[in-house]
Amino acid sequence: MTRTEFLNELEQNLNQSLDQNQIYAVLHSFADIYNHGERQGKREFEISNEIGKPKELANQIIAMWACDTLKKSPNLKNLFSAFGSLYRMSIWGPVLGFPALLFSLLLSLCVLLVVGFLSICSLAGIFSSFLSFSYVDGVLALCFLFISIFFLGVSLLLFSLFVYMVGQLFRWAGGRFQRIYARQGKKLPKIKL
C-alpha cells in the first residue's frame, strides 16, 4: 500500500469519530513516520506493512482519544463513546468490563429511585404537616414537620453523595478503559494537537 492510499484510508476511518484538527494531527504524525522510513531507505509498502492496517489503527486512535476525553471530562456521553470505541477495537476487553459498568449503572438507577422516593415522601410530609395544624395537636404536627424536613435533608445529602459517586465512577471507567486500550493497542506515534 502506498503512502497516499494508507493516509486516505486512515482519514476515511477517522472521519466518523474525530474532528478535522485531530485528523490533521494524526495524518501529520503518520506522514512523519513515512518520511522517517524513507530517509532510512525503506519503500512505502514496507513502511505500510510495519505500521499496520489503517482501519485497525483508526480504531485504536479513536479509542485513545475517547478514553482521554472520558478521563478529562467524565460524563455519560463520553463513557458510552469510550465504551463504543473500545468495542470496535476488540470485543474481549469491553466485554470483561461490561458487567461492572452495567452493575454501576443499575446501582445508580436504584440510588436515584430511593432518593426520589425519599424526597417525594418528605415533601408530602411537609405539606401534610402544614395541613394537620388545624386538625391535630400543634406539637404533633410540628414533630411531623421536623421529621419530614429531616428526611428531605437526608435525601438531598444522598443525592449529593450520588452525584459525587457517579463522577468517581466515570473517572474509574475512564482509567479502566485506558488500561484496556493500552493492552489492546499497538504502539502508536505521539499525536498532539
Give residues with Cβ within 8 angstroms of 111, minimum separation 6. 158, 162, 165
Q: What is the pTM of this model?
A: 0.53
Q: How far apart are CA 132 and CA 164, in angstroms?
A: 37
For residue 190, the 8-state DSSP code is P
Place of cell 444522598: 158
Q: How far apart are CA 88 and CA 94, in angstroms?
A: 10
Closest CA to 143 of 125, 124, 169, 117: 125
Per-residue pLDDT of the chain (193 residues; tens, 9 = 90+): 888 898 899 889 888 778 888 888 888 888 888 898 899 999 888 888 888 888 888 877 887 777 777 777 777 677 777 767 766 665 445 555 566 666 667 777 777 788 788 788 787 877 777 777 667 677 777 777 788 888 878 888 887 887 777 777 666 666 666 665 565 555 555 555 4
Q: pLDDT value at position 16?
A: 76
